[in-house]
Amino acid sequence: MVKLIVGGAGSGKTKTIIELVNAAVKEEKGSVVCLTKGNKLKFDISYDARLVDVSEYAVNGYDGLLGFLCGIHAGNYDITHIYIDGLYKVSGVKDPTQAESFLDKLNAFADTHTVRFTVSLSEEEALVTEGMKKYV
């Protein structure tokens, strides 16, 4: 399952991600992972969640990001939820069509491996593709 949080800059998406990650750490029995670009959430995310700064790794594009996520899951099958704060920033590609394709692949991975994904996307709701709307 993939859940998409959409909104323009400054609309509170990161704050929502922080709240969701911290709540998930308390409620879920498995591991919780949060991907972001940079370490700005270091003091906001519970130490019980695994905070991953993708800028420390060679993650390029949506295929690279999907491979990176698969690798994270392969290293820890106990992961129940992965949060991605700022899909365009994390992937390095601001292309709604490619993002839609990525979300579809991510959803297929989630269904196969029983892991949930929550992804924030810095985009006005009016500009979100029809294919992305099913995840909102």
What are the Cα distances from residue 99, in Å, to 47, 87, 94, 120? Answer: 29, 8, 8, 11
For 92-124, the pLDDT digits (tens) are: 999 999 999 999 999 999 999 999 999 999 998
Percent of the chain with pLDDT over 70: 100
Helix (H) or strand (E) holding 26: helix 13-27
Which tens digits make up the pLDDT trace of 1-36?
999 999 988 889 999 999 999 999 999 899 999 999
Q: Which helix (H) or strand (E) holds 117?
A: strand 116-122
AA letter at 10: G
**pLDDT score for 10:** 84
Q: What pLDDT does residue 97 have?
A: 93
List the domains of the chain with CATH numbers.
2-133 (3.40.50.300)
54 in Cβ contact with 30 (< 8 Å):
no
β-partners of residue 50 are 33
Beta bridge partners of 5: 120
The pLDDT of 68-90, averaged and rounded, is: 95
Going through 8-89 in order, the beta strands assigned E by DSSP cover 31-36, 50-53, 79-84
Asked whether the beta carbons of 119 and 5 are under 8 A apart, the reply is: yes
